[in-house]
Amino acid sequence: MKKTRVINSDISRVISTMGHFDTLGIGDAGMPVPAGTEKIDLALEAGIPSFMQVLENVLSELQVQKVYLAEEMKVQNPEQLAAVKKVVGDTPIEFIPHEDMKKDLNDTKAFIRTGEETPYSNILLESGVVF
């Protein structure tokens, strides 16, 4: 059995296949996922698991060089934005329109759906390198 925090086999598999500049999405229960994008559905019920629980778990294993958040999060969900900023630390954040984020899901390795039901709780993680 794995010793690291990420024990979900699908999430672990996707992380292990990521290369430099690949992206992985994590988001709320309502984010539309394109048909060609792998969806790892963790949602059990409203709020379970939370967006932040999943983000913190993934960040424990994935080397991230940049994150993308919806511009709308600044006004519509400032509490979640503050929580994201706290866990990503010095990692650069780029804000993009939510509509662009939905389009960008076409090019992600996968999208992890959480039970989160707060607005604009979505993120794209851009993979970095460990060397």
Domain CATH code at residue 119:
3.40.1650.10
58 found inside a domain = yes
Evaluate whether residue 2 is within a structural domain. Answer: no
Q: Which residue has the tokens 């993009």?
A: 96
- In this prediction, what percent of the chain has a pLDDT beyond 70? 100
pLDDT of residue 91: 98
- Report yes or no on 11 lying in a domain: no
pLDDT band at 2 (very low <50, low <70, confident <90, very high): confident
Residue 104 DSSP code: H
Active site residue 20: yes
What tens digit of pLDDT does each residue of 50-103 get?
999 999 999 999 999 999 999 999 999 999 999 999 999 999 999 999 999 999
Does the residue 6 lie in any domain?
no
Query: What is the total count of domains within the chain?
Result: 1
In a domain, 8, yes or no: no
Domain with 26 in it = 22-127
For residues 123 and 67, is the Cβ–Cβ distance under 8 A?
yes
Taking the model in full, what pTM does it have?
A: 0.97
Q: Give the annotated binding-site residues for substrate.
A: 28, 98, 120-122
> From the candidates 20, 74, 85, 103, which is the catalytic residue?
20
C-alpha–C-alpha distance, residues 83 and 131, integer Å: 28
DSSP string, 60-77: TT--EEEEEEETTHHHH-
